[in-house]
Amino acid sequence: LERGVFYAAEKLYGVTMQRRTDLPVYHPDVMTFEMFDYTGESLAIFGLDPYARAGKRGGAWMTFFVRQASLLGQKPVVYNVLNIVKPAEGRPALLTRDNVTTLFHEFGHGLHGMLSNLKYSTLSGTSVARDFLEFPSQINEHWAMYDAVLKNYALHYETKEPIPQSLVDRMKAAETYGAGFHTIEVVKAAYLDFHWHRVTEEAAVLPPAQMEEAAMRAFGVGMTEVPPRYHSGYFLHIFAGGYASNYYVYQWARVLDCDRFEWFLESGGLTRENGDHLRACVLSVGNSVDANVAYEKFAGRKANMKAFLRINGLLDE
């Protein structure tokens, strides 16, 4: 956390995180930190509830206790909630690759909330269009495998030796394995979501399995070799919550984050100049600026999906 997630944030935005043990928490596992800007100004309180426990909802998410609003003098109180396996007493928590990615992802949402600088809470932080919401979180994921960050946190828990470069190379190579299959299954799930939200009463008489097949054929992705990531009976996103008819947003955000992470790599990588540009154009403005306008101000152009194809090994140039 401190040598990876917080380290990357400090390099990009000049913010520092200081542990607070004097604040009340709702469970003993919860850790709290205060975020300070490079000027020394206190920006936010950040809480982390990392471990799984009985009665706790599964998955991982970011939530607000208080949203930023300069009108009321409100500074944000943001929490990341995860479900990492709690270690035995006296032992460190060893994270999987997926755990690390999730930690960076949720803190990306957290940064979106904590670096907000707006008058009204209804516009601040993550109060953005659903298909822009995942952009800050997913671009933050990329820093988990960025060499300068990886070398700072990926140390053997006993010997403190850095992770071998040969292992890093294999991990990076594995990231593109099955990328085509994964892309198709997610796209098919998004099409299925769209189909359910525009289905007519007459078409709804078909059994769900037949309806799924018809929907895939209608959208031109009827190949049976790659099924949708979810079938209708357990596709919870499309029936409840903010992702109903919006499952596509994850894939669209991936196009955006790959496009801009490629720019980061071409422009010096993990630097304050680059981070401040993202902060000024996206992270600080919430929904006070249209998402397309914010992105195009940051990028200098509309999104281009070629970076997504390149990063995923799907473009042969």
Taking the alpha carbons at both ends of the chain, their separation in whole angstroms is 37
Phi, psi (deg, nearest 5) at residue 185: -65, -35
Q: Which amino acid is at 120?
A: Y
- What pLDDT does residue 158 have? 92
Q: Which segments of the chain have a pLDDT < 50?
A: none
What pLDDT does residue 281 have? 98
Answer yes or no: is 221 within a domain. Answer: no
Range of the domain at 115: 5-174
CA–CA separation, 175 and 312 (whole Å):
7
Q: What is the pLDDT of residue 301?
A: 96
- Report pLDDT digits (tens) over 94-138: 999 999 999 999 999 999 999 999 999 999 999 999 989 999 999
pLDDT for res 239: 79
- Axis crossing angle, helix 291-299 with helix 249-266, rounded to the nearest 10: 20
Using H for helix, E for strand and C for coil, what is the string for 250-309? HHHHHHHHHHHHHHHHHCCCCCHHHHHHHHHHHHCCCCCCCHHHHHHHHHCCCCCCHHHH
Instruction: Return the pLDDT at 223.
Output: 83
Which pLDDT does position 236 carry in this prediction?
80
- The predicted pLDDT at position 208 comes to 82
For residue 273 the two structure tokens come to 């100049």
The enclosing domain of 103 has a CATH number of: 1.10.1370.40
User: Is residue 50 in some structural domain?
Assistant: yes
Report the distance separating Cα 57 and Cα 202, nearest Å. 38
* pLDDT score recorded for residue 229: 83
Q: Which two tokens stand for residue 159?
A: 């010997």
Residue 198 lies in a domain: no
pLDDT of the residue at 231: 84
- Residues that are catalytic: 106
43 and 115 Cβ atoms separated by less than 8 Å: yes
Rounded to whole angstroms, how far apart are CA atoms 129 and 135?
11
Instruction: Give the whole-angstrom CA distance, residue 151 versus residue 162.
Output: 6
Residue 167, pLDDT score:
94
Q: Please report whether residue 180 resides in a domain.
A: no
The number of domains in the chain is: 1
